[in-house]
Structure 1
Amino acid sequence: MGDEVEITLVVENSVYKSQLLAEHGLSFWIDYDDSSYLFDTGQGQVLTHNLKTLNLNISELSGVLLSHGHYDHAGGLSAILEQQPEVPVYGHPDLFLPKYSQNTAGEVFRGFAMTKDEINNFNPNTDLTAVQSGLWLTGEVPRKNERETLNDHYQVKEDRELKTDPFRDDQSLVLDTEEGLVIILGCSHAGVINILEHVQQNFAQEIYTIIGGMHLVNASRDRIEWTIEQLQKIDFTQLIPLHCTGERAVRAMQSAFGERVETLSVGDKIKLKGKK
């Protein structure tokens, strides 16, 4: 490989650069070993605008990788397929289950408006899967830590029955670089510590960067403190909390890890050296 790896934040909740737009969502453009991928697609309201502004060409995509089936991560897929209908799409089969959340008004649909039949080149995965050499989707993440329990606020409809979403489709992306592994998180519904332990069990390399949504925005103080205690047991160089991590959790991470914690917004890039 040996080429430079570049990760561009295309969609996120915050933006500080002119001409770019923010929304509640997440999407990364990843240039890796002469290939380009999108990991998640945001809601779709700002995706194509930001890609064009950042001079990132949809026609050059080698694939679209989806972390899970919520609207703020998969909603922009239709806009990509309108321009490149044959691009390979990778994700768990449960992406397409009807997903909901509960609030005072009742059920709120949180899925995205596409079916598997509308995707010409869908590549389902449930286990750890190499998209190409040096780039993997984690597949289903075992839930081993009791503190990272399922939230019954999120539901899924199976066989016409609403039940707590098991988030079998929640998966992350792992990149192998010269500096170490880069772990890109979608929303971490499987639990950020469960995810990191799953990666460590499958890869011998050190972790360089952990970046993405950690879904601690509504977590209790106890849950946040426990998460930081577990992160302190993991040898990593850089932690970049985004999207659904939440301000309280980000401040706690900054207090615990100092300069190892970085914050990014739409348009920011990470550049690394590819694996030799």
Structure 2
Amino acid sequence: MQTERKSLIPFHERYSSMTSRLSLTVLVDNTTLTDHDLCGEAGLSFLIETAGTKILFDTGLSGLFLANAGKMDISLRDLDFIVLSHGHIDHTGGLATLIRHLATAAPGKERPPAPELIAHPCCFWQKEKEGRKNGSAVSGEEAGQQFLLHQSKEPVWITEDLVFLGEIPRRFPFEQGEPEKRMIHSPDGKTGPDYLLDDTALAFRSAEGLVIITGCSHAGICNITEYAREVCRERRVADIIGGLHLLTPAPKRLVKTGKYLNRLHLNALHACHCTSLPAKLALMEYCPVQEVGVGMHFGW
């Protein structure tokens, strides 16, 4: 028989004093570890497990996340949720491969129920950067046919301690992006600058404070962190893991970001994917930057 799919946490259960544990496995990142038979690509994908719930956060640029999971003896057939940080191809490119993978049952077993896919409403809109398409190859309509699609600008509590943040308020002027380089096409045919409103993150309430899990942080890691603290009613931040979109940041932005992160007194900053080596070295002056690579396991 098929197992019953887990449901989202209702409002009255959101702020329990109990905290669960969370484990995170890096399935895809730009960086790989030595002495591991795993591959990397310009993308990101994490497997998250907490409170008996299995969540795939982003799918990387291709089907590589599935190949790496197989090499680590990790099954992705029993996912409860898929969460997309935003609609760019390096975070949604593996969706088609995942759809094909889930379309058939494992040998000797019935096909499991479809996982729920959580994303911002703009996630599947067509996107361009400097004239080149860089949005999801899978449309929202296709995603809705394959998954239980939940699109939300508002926070969505996945478990008692893990929340999808939804649309991030932009509060720090120095984290303003460059919308003139990006365009977005709405389903009604309108075209305009892409302010990357679909960029979001996860926040987990650990015993030591929040763990913030990002895809690219186009919304700005300071904006994301402040909103996570507000949504979770928790000021402490223990760790941040994911892309920070600091490839060639302006020196002023890098200093202000560093000072903000320094005030958090983080246990660790696991910056990866779209964070350049110079940016990591600069941030090391402000907080404990730690290594991330495909195959690494983290727990809080």
Relative to the length of structure 1, the TM-score reads 0.91
Q: Which residue of 1 is the match for residue 116 of structure 2?
A: 88
For residue 67 of structure 2, the aligned residue among 45, 49, 52 is: 49
For residue 196 of structure 2, the aligned residue among 155, 167, 170 is: 167
Q: 1:48 to 1:16 in 2, by over 3 A?
A: same
Q: Which deviations, in whole Å up to 9, do the C-alpha atoms of 1:204-262 show, x marking residues without a partner?
A: 332111111110102111211111112122232211111111111100111222xx210
Within-5 A mapping of 1:232-251: 232-251=262-281
Within-5 A mapping of 1:1-276: 4-17=21-34, 18-84=36-102, 86-102=114-130, 107-119=131-143, 120=146, 121-151=148-178, 152-158=180-186, 159-205=188-234, 206-257=236-287, 260-272=288-300
* CA shift for structure 1 position 2: 6.7
Task: Identify the structure with the greater strand proportion.
Answer: 1
Q: How many Å separate the matches in 2 of 1:23 and 1:203?
A: 32
Q: 1:163 to 1:150 in 2, by over 3 A?
A: farther
Q: 1:256 to 1:236 in 2, by over 3 A?
A: closer
Aligned amino acid, residue 248 of structure 1: P
Q: How many Å separate the matches in 2 of 1:218 and 1:29?
A: 28
* CA shift for structure 1 position 88: 1.1
Q: How many Å separate the matches in 1 of 2:230 and 2:254?
A: 23
CA contact (8 A) 2:126 2:135 kept: yes
Match of 1:190, SS state, is: coil
CA contact (8 A) 1:81 1:87 kept: no
* CA shift for structure 1 position 203: 2.3
Q: How many Å separate the matches in 2 of 1:202 and 1:137?
A: 10
Give the RMSD, CA atoms, in angstroms. 1.6
Q: How many Å separate the matches in 1 of 2:200 and 2:19?
A: 26
Aligned amino acid, residue 63 of structure 1: F
- Work out the percentage of aligned pairs sharing the same amino acid: 30
* Unaligned residue ranges in structure 1 (runs of 5+): none
Q: How many Å separate the matches in 2 of 1:269 and 1:55?
A: 14
Q: How many Å separate the matches in 2 of 1:204 and 1:96?
A: 30
Q: How many Å separate the matches in 1 of 2:267 and 2:19?
A: 21
Query: Between Structure 1 and Structure 2, how many residues are aligned?
Result: 266
Larger deviation, residues 121-130 vs 173-182: 173-182
Q: Which deviations, in whole Å up to 9, do the C-alpha atoms of 1:46-78 show, x marking residues without a partner?
A: 111101011111112111100000000111112
Match of 2:42, SS state, is: coil
Larger deviation, residues 37-46 vs 63-72: 37-46
Q: How many Å separate the matches in 1 of 2:168 and 2:21?
A: 29
* CA shift for structure 1 position 99: 0.8
Q: Which deviations, in whole Å up to 9, do the C-alpha atoms of 1:136-190 show, x marking residues without a partner?
A: 0011011111111121222212354542212111110011222321100111111
Q: Which of 1 and 2 has greater Rg?
A: 2
CA contact (8 A) 2:51 2:159 kept: no
* CA shift for structure 1 position 9: 0.6
